[in-house]
Amino acid sequence: MSANGAMAGAGSVKGWCPGALKPMQTGDGLIVRVRPRGGMLTPTQMLALCRIARTYGNGHIDLTRRANLQVRGVRNEVLPRVWAALADCGLIDTSAEAEAVRNVLVSPLAGLDPTEICDVRPIAAALEQELEQNQALWALPGKFGFVVDGGGLLALNEERADICLKAIRTGSGDAAIAVGIDAPGVTEWLALVEQRAAHAAAVDVAIAFLSVSRGEQRARMRDLGAGAIAQLKRLLPASLQSVSELRFDLISSSGNSIGAITAQGRSIAVGLGLPFGRIKSDRLETLVAEASSLGIHELRLSPWRVLYVPVECMRDGETLSDVAASCGFITGPRHPLMAIDACPGKSACVSGFIDTRSIAHAFAEAMPMAGISSVHVSGCGKGCARSKPADVVLVGTPSGIGVIRNGAASDAPHTIVALDDVARLPALVKSGA
Ligand code: SF4
């Protein structure tokens, strides 16, 4: 394996995501991010990752917004040992370049959910393989991503991606795959293809994107203007130009993403939330050991910071939920902490001005609040934990906690609250200040 660029420019380069072979330098050491294939991993792989976090990192595992797992606080000198441990359990790519472009988000219940339109795991696997092996695709920008969505209970309707493959039901009742691109504000659907042709269609669109973006490393699909989009479409094969206006209704997902997941009268999985996307590795090990003892052979990752454990009966789900609750997972729906994004803050990041997690916990005690469904607590204006706007943003500044309504961490605060006045924040927000 090569680790080209593992250290070069780490921490100073923007517009790319860390990987395992190309970790990113932060205030608390390196971030080593692992992309499990198909968004799933075995208990053995998860236990290996826990050991890495405990031995070489800060002892925590983070579940990211792209359904990846990461370990923070890793030192440069232990990287070869981390890579060897990841290689031993099949969690590493053959090159940093392949790893960087293998950015595929898959429905977390693919193949488990009897209400899904089709099982998209083969499409995702074929696409990941193509991204790994087709070196022409390695020129894609660092954050360029794909969504492969089979629909069903936990459809990925809210997840943006440069290229989207979405299962839909045709008029004849068959499953087909809609191929879409991320235009400003919407997904523009280009064509319908058969399931077996879907991964190749995504590759065709990616190659066309590279032609029109001319290798600009930070360009994303949504950055292309109307002329470039028209040019991209002209470069596609005829099979992807056959539909001039493809419209369909997205079937909304159940929204029941935490706790017991049932479909057609039977248990299929249990969803376990990680507060702020983080769990201590020893607690995760306890949960995984319990899952293994129940004969469970895989764990599924989601982009909304919920881990899914497939179960075949309600009793196994209840057993896992009880163990997970004792380990610090969120096991019930509508928990206020799941509405809050918070970066590690000043305890872990040199850029942080505030202790984000304690402020988030204090704010959660005042929730639910009318009209507030998303809160972002950010250690500084960079806003690492959330790219989308939130109903309320509490952001660290040199002079205190900035309060922003309906905005992002980089926006100018409406009000600054002194650090020793945190208890006043909920009342201030409720008053609309
Ligand atoms: S938002 Fe700021 S404080 Fe938080 S992790 Fe990012 S750089 Fe660090």
For ligand 1, the distance from its centroid to the CA atom of residue 346, given in whole angstroms, is 8
For residue 380, the ligand 1 atom closest to its alpha carbon is: 2
| 6: confidence class by pLDDT, cuts 50, 70, 90 | very low
Q: What sign results for the dihedral spanned by CA atoms 88, 316, 276, 111?
A: positive
Strands of 104-106's sheet in order across: 104-106, 146-149, 163-169, 175-183, 186-193
Report residues whose beta carbon is within 6 angstroms of any ligand 1 atom.
Answer: 343-345, 349, 351-352, 378-380, 382-384
Instruction: For residue range 29-73, list pLDDT tens digits in order.
Output: 899 999 999 999 999 999 999 999 999 999 999 999 899 999 999
Check residue 5 and give its pLDDT: 36
Q: How far does the centroid of ligand 1 lie from the alpha carbon of residue 49, in Å?
A: 24
User: Mind listing the pLDDT tens digit for each residue in 66-125?
Assistant: 999 999 999 999 999 999 999 999 999 999 999 999 999 999 999 999 999 999 999 999
* Cα separation, 89 vs 107, whole angstroms: 23
Nearest ligand 1 atom to alpha carbon 350: 8
Burial class (CB in 10 A: 0-12, 13-18, 19+), 328: middle
pLDDT in tens, 263-322: 999 999 999 999 999 999 999 999 999 999 999 999 999 999 999 999 999 999 999 999
pTM confidence score: 0.90
Residue nearest (by alpha carbon) to ligand 1 atom 4? 379
Report percent pLDDT > 70 for the chain.
Answer: 92
Q: How far is the CA of 73 from the centre of ligand 1 (A)?
A: 14
Q: What percent of the chain has pLDDT over 90?
A: 73
Separation of alpha carbons 346 and 338, rounded Å? 21
Is the pLDDT reported for residue 1 higher than 50? no
Interval 424-431 mean pLDDT? 86
Query: How much is the pLDDT for 240?
Result: 87
Mean pLDDT to the nearest integer, 185-191:
88
Residue 5 CB contacts under 8 Å (≥ 6 apart), including other chains: 22, 96
Mean pLDDT of 229-236: 93
